[in-house]
């Protein structure tokens, strides 16, 4: 089958790979759509070539259901990217991200994948595959889980730092919940996407001081919540400055150590600093319901490329001139 190989130095190639080996507890899937994730940019920009690719947001059609009683040939499915062991206490309640023996889905920028039955999620047939990628992957999963952790209320102001696909997804969900969303980024194109995803205000941090702008928008009160979706020390520090008294900062951009001053950053203003990773398999039915109620999550998708044009897809994504980019084998 064809699959994408990450070569590093901003190069990828499409080449022939062995077919996935399916055991009878797994579902063999013909991939119809695979999303490019920001987390793949480390490998793409790095200097070593990989044996395959890091794609992990996928939707497709069952071509062999193995021993499954839940899935059958021709079912439409998505795959949860975090593969829990399926046997532990956390896996039993559908919280694979908490499983101590979890693994991750192998590269999905390919024609086929074999996935354990308990990681597959059934997609209604009227839902397009690109939306299915968002519904069962990072695109909606990460922002949905954040929304459950933040529990935003209608009158609140929520800042989103970073207008990549994850920041945009958070913008869609938070604004759908009735929150006044302020998006901060340096990329004018992505800020315009943020507007179409529901942002009430956008701030280009190269043109305006975000702190002053948020003070003005909130009449001096600062934000109730701030979602940090960049993963840099300076943006996490900015997030802590943008929330007002009793505010919450939700860190979702992965990064290393950041110096925090407990007294001035947290204690003296009752600030909550929290983290949130991916979403729970068990949250999928509520995510699908939110989409059914009109959540315009598709707004984050800007591009579709055939698998064979993976290089163009990766370049466009890496250049920041795209929202969510979907590869279609
Ligand atoms: Zn991802
Ligand atoms: Zn487990």
The CA distance from 193 to 176, in Å, is 15
pLDDT at 250: 98
Strands 157-161, 223-228: pairing kind:
parallel
Ligand 1 centroid – CA 253 distance (Å): 11
Which ligand is the nearest neighbour of the Cα of 138?
1
pLDDT at 214: 98
Just give the CATH number of 143-275.
Answer: 3.40.50.720
Which ligand is the nearest neighbour of the Cα of 118?
2
pLDDT at 149: 97
Q: Does domain 2-137+279-328 have CATH number 3.90.180.10?
A: yes
Q: What pLDDT digit, counting tens, does each position of 88-125 carry?
A: 999 999 999 999 999 999 999 999 999 999 999 999 99
Ligand 2 centroid – CA 92 distance (Å): 7
Confidence of residue 280 (pLDDT cuts 50, 70, 90): very high
Ligand 2 centroid – CA 280 distance (Å): 12
With H, G, I as helix, E, B as strand and everything else as coil, classify residue 16: strand
Contact (Cβ atoms closer than 8 angstroms) between residue 149 and residue 250: yes
Do 2-137+279-328 and 143-275 share a fold?
no
Confidence of residue 153 (pLDDT cuts 50, 70, 90): very high
pLDDT at 67: 97
Picking from 58, 56, 61, 67, the residue whose alpha carbon sits closest to that of residue 117 is 67
| Long-range contacts of the stretch 228-237 (C-beta < 8 A, 24+) | 228/161, 228/162, 228/252, 228/253, 229/160, 229/161, 229/162, 229/164, 229/166, 229/167, 229/170, 229/253, 230/161, 230/162, 230/164, 230/167, 231/162, 231/255, 233/258, 233/259, 235/161, 235/162, 237/265
Q: Which residues surround ligand 1, an ion (CB under 5 A)?
A: 37, 39, 138
* The pair of three-digit structure tokens given for residue 62, joined into one six-digit string: 């069952």
The CA distance from 307 to 319, in Å, is 19
Q: What pLDDT digit, counting tens, does each position of 194-203 carry?
A: 999 999 999 9
Q: What pLDDT digit, counting tens, does each position of 166-219 carry?
A: 999 999 999 999 999 999 999 999 999 999 999 999 999 999 999 999 999 999
- Domain boundaries along the sequence of the chain: 2-137+279-328, 143-275
Question: Looking at residues 156-162, what average pLDDT do you find?
Answer: 98
With H, G, I as helix, E, B as strand and everything else as coil, classify residue 159: strand
Which ligand is the nearest neighbour of the Cα of 54?
1
Q: pTM for the complete prediction?
A: 0.97
Ligand 2 centroid – CA 93 distance (Å): 10
Contact (Cβ atoms closer than 8 angstroms) between residue 4 and residue 310: yes
Confidence of residue 81 (pLDDT cuts 50, 70, 90): very high
The CA distance from 314 to 84, in Å, is 29
């Amino acid at each position: 089958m064809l699959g994408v190989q990450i070569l590093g130095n901003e190069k990828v190639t499409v080449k022939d790979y062995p077919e996935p080996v399916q055991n009878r507890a797994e579902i063999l899937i013909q991939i119809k759509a695979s999303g490019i994730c920001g987390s793949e940019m480390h490998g793409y920009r790095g200097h070593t070539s990989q044996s395959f690719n890091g794609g992990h947001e996928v939707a497709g059609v069952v071509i062999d259901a193995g021993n499954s009683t839940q899935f059958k040939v021709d079912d439409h499915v998505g795959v949860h990217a975090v593969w829990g062991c399926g046997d532990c206490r956390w896996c039993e309640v559908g919280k694979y991200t908490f499983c101590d023996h979890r693994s991750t889905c192998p590269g999905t920028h390919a024609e086929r994948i074999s996935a354990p039955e308990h990681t597959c999620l059934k997609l209604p047939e009227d839902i397009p595959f690109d939306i299915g990628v968002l519904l069962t992957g990072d695109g909606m999963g990460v922002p949905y889980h954040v929304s459950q952790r933040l529990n935003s209320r209608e009158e609140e102001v929520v800042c989103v730092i970073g207008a990549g696909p994850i920041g945009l997804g958070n913008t869609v969900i938070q604004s759908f919940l009735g929150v006044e969303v302020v998006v901060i980024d340096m990329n004018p194109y992505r800020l315009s996407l943020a507007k179409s995803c529901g942002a009430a205000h956008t701030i280009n941090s190269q043109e305006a001081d975000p702190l002053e702008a948020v003070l003005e928008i909130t009449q001096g009160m600062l934000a109730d919540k701030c979602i940090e979706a960049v993963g840099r020390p300076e943006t996490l520090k900015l997030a802590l400055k943008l929330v007002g008294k009793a505010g919450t900062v939700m860190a979702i951009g992965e990064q290393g150590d950041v110096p925090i001053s407990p007294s001035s950053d947290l204690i003296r203003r009752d600030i909550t600093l929290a983290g949130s990773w991916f979403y729970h398999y068990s949250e999928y039915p509520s995510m699908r319901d939110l989409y059914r109620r009109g959540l315009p999550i598709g707004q984050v998708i800007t591009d579709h490329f055939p698998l064979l044009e993976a290089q163009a897809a990766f370049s466009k994504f890496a250049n920041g001139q795209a929202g969510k980019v979907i590869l279609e084998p």
